[in-house]
Structure 1
Amino acid sequence: MSKELIAAYSNGYERLKEAIRTLSEEEMHYKPGHNKWSIHEIIVHLADAELVGIHRMKRVLAEDNPALTAYDQDAWANSLGYSGQDAGRSLELFGLMRSMMVPVLESVEGADWDRCGIHEEAGPLTLSQLLERYVHHVDGHLAQMERVREAYREHSV
């Protein structure tokens, strides 16, 4: 596995922290539309998604062809009250989880990157593919956060 991909995974926390560093509470809580997430909710979601992602990656490393369950992210956001949770703590938790997972990933060798889990919706996924997904997951949400910021700016004019 490429050291660059592990580094990109490791850098996710700093990139998120930088993306919200200058935002006001109003910007953090702005929702660009019905059933659209605020930046605050995106941050809380990322912490929950990281819990799931680390669980999946560790199961793939420790078990033979484990079942990887899907979850309904919108149901989690609504039922768990993402808008009322502490986004700062969620971001800290995200960073802590990533910092604890990086040494695990750095210790993976050779064929272990090809170990597989069976996702109930996506089918077989290797450890390498899971890592790529969680790197791109942050990328996708950073782009979403930028769109929310832009919508806030347009709304505030």
Structure 2
Amino acid sequence: MEDLIKEYALGYAMLRDAIEGLTEEELRYKPAPDKWSIHQILIHVTDSEISSTSRLKKVLAEDEPLLISFDQDAWANNLGYDLMDREQYLLLFKLLRSSMQTILDNLTSEQSERVGVYVDQKRFTFKQLTEFRVEHVRDHLDQIERVKKAYQENQLTY
């Protein structure tokens, strides 16, 4: 769990590093009409973090709480992600992650095995949910790299 907590704490820095030096054009580039720009990815990652931070806390505070996901495409399509302030969202991500640090630093092995239950009856431990958070950032870092590459390839064709 220790390595997991360390990587969780690095999420913000990893996102920042991934976008370092990018122009607004690069940040807003969509590799296809149905694909997200890096800007949209960053907004999504933060929206997901808002939801997941609540779920993590519920699992630690309540006995086998009901956990609810959100429809990421509906949020991206209907909340005006292109209009959102990226810097504000990145700061919010940073604050959400740092707000969990004291809890994570004092987590007991018993707490890491506490369970939350999704509406489809799938059960996940706190540790598994934290692993999902780390993996979520990793997956979107990979996606950011793919968008950066697509942008560069698109520039070569012009």
Instruction: Write the distance in 2 (CA, Å) between the matches of 1:122 and 1:29.
Output: 38
The reply on whether 1:148 has 2:150 as its aligned counterpart is no
Query: Quick one: which amino acid aligns to residue 2 of structure 2?
Result: K
| Structure 1 partner of 2:76 | 77
Number of corresponding residues:
156
Structure 2 unmatched runs, 5+? none
Instruction: Write the distance in 2 (CA, Å) between the matches of 1:35 and 1:124.
Output: 32
Instruction: Write the distance in 2 (CA, Å) between the matches of 1:101 and 1:122.
Output: 26
CA-CA distance at 1:44 after TM superposition? 0.5
Whether the 8 Å contact between 2:51 and 2:69 is mirrored in structure 1 is: no
The reply on whether 1:66 has 2:65 as its aligned counterpart is yes
Whether the 8 Å contact between 1:47 and 1:90 is mirrored in structure 2 is: yes
Instruction: Write the distance in 1 (CA, Å) between the matches of 2:83 and 2:65.
Output: 34
Query: Quick one: which amino acid aligns to residue 148 of structure 1?
Result: V
SS of 2:64 mapped into structure 1 = coil
What is the Cα-based RMSD across aligned positions, in Å? 1.0
Instruction: Write the distance in 2 (CA, Å) between the matches of 1:99 and 1:145.
Output: 23
**TM-score, normalization: structure 2?**
0.96
| Structure 2 partner of 1:25 | 24
Runs of 4 or more off by more than 6 Å in structure 1? Answer: none
SS of 1:118 mapped into structure 2 = strand
| Structure 2 partner of 1:39 | 38
**TM-score, normalization: structure 1?**
0.96
Instruction: Write the distance in 1 (CA, Å) between the matches of 2:120 and 2:8.
Output: 23
CA-CA distance at 1:120 after TM superposition? 2.5
Instruction: Write the distance in 2 (CA, Å) between the matches of 1:38 and 1:60.
Output: 32
